Amino acid sequence: MTGWALLGQARDLADHGQWITGWIGSIPVLVRNFSGALRGFRNVCSHRFALMLTTPSGKGPLRCPYHAWIYDADGVPKAIPFNDSDFHLDDAGRRALALPPVSVAVAGGLVFVHPDTGADPVIPGIWLEQGMRTLPDGSVISADGAIQYRSTQTRGGAC
Ligand code: FES
């Protein structure tokens, strides 16, 4: 499945450092609040391709749990333990290891993601304006505002 996918609720990204995770089809993704800007990336570490954030939501640095690489708002690893002795990555080397970005759109208090960075961010808002309850990714918004995500993982709450 590709296209816009419902990832979560904007209220879970209200503060700097908050993040949510999910999937676009088989692609693990995350969206994090970086000083007020929502940025989305593939949720796979550039070092040894580990899944980085493993819970649906949380707050903290974008840090891989395996060897503690920390990524910045551009998806670039800004802190790499033992870089001076082991990796020798300069700025260009770090930028070459940036996490692939994904598009992020917020509509109706919901957060959507798309694997294509050129995706039109107005589309999810149009769906909601049209009263669409079953979204193209298979997620369902019930009459009381509860959300059943395509993954069948209900994260609850009215939208
Ligand atoms: S696998 Fe992520 S820091 Fe090593």
The CB of 63 under 6 Å from ligand 1? The reply is no
CA angle, residues 130, 103, 32, in degrees to nearest 5: 105
Q: How far is CA 96 from CA 61, 74, 76, in A?
A: 20, 11, 8
Which residues in the chain show pLDDT less than 50? 152-159
Answer yes or no: are the C-beta atoms of 103 and 119 closer than 8 Å.
yes
User: 3-class SS at 9?
Assistant: strand
What is the structure's pLDDT at 25?
A: 85
For ligand 1, mutation pick of 64, 83, 99 (most atoms within 8 Å of CB): 64
**Residue 44, beta-bridge partner list:** 51
pLDDT tens digit sequence for 51-60: 999 999 999 9
The pLDDT assigned to 148 comes to 85
How many angstroms is it from 83 CA to the middle of ligand 1?
A: 13
Task: State in Å: Cα 70 to ligand 1 middle.
Answer: 9
Sequence-distant contacts of 148-157: CB under 8 A, at least 24 apart: 149/6, 149/22, 150/1, 150/5, 150/6, 151/22, 151/23, 153/56, 155/8, 155/9, 155/56, 155/57, 157/9, 157/11
- Residue nearest (by alpha carbon) to ligand 1 atom 3: 67
| Cβ(66) – ligand 1 distance below 6 Å | yes
pTM: 0.91
The domain made up of 5-148 has a fold known as: Rieske Iron-sulfur Protein (2.102.10)
Structure-derived torsion over alpha carbons of residues 87, 88, 93, 96, reported in degrees to the nearest 10 = 0
pLDDT of 35-49, one tens digit each?
999 999 999 999 999
N-term to C-term CA, the chain: 24
Tell me which residue has its CA closest to atom 4 in ligand 1. Answer: 67
Pocket test for ligand 1, best of 30, 43, 46, 47 (most atoms within 8 A of CB): 47
pLDDT averaged over every residue in the chain: 91
Distance of CA 140 to the CA centre of its chain: 19
Please, are residues 55 and 76 in contact by the beta-carbon 8 Å criterion? no
Residue 45 Cβ < 6 Å to ligand 1: yes
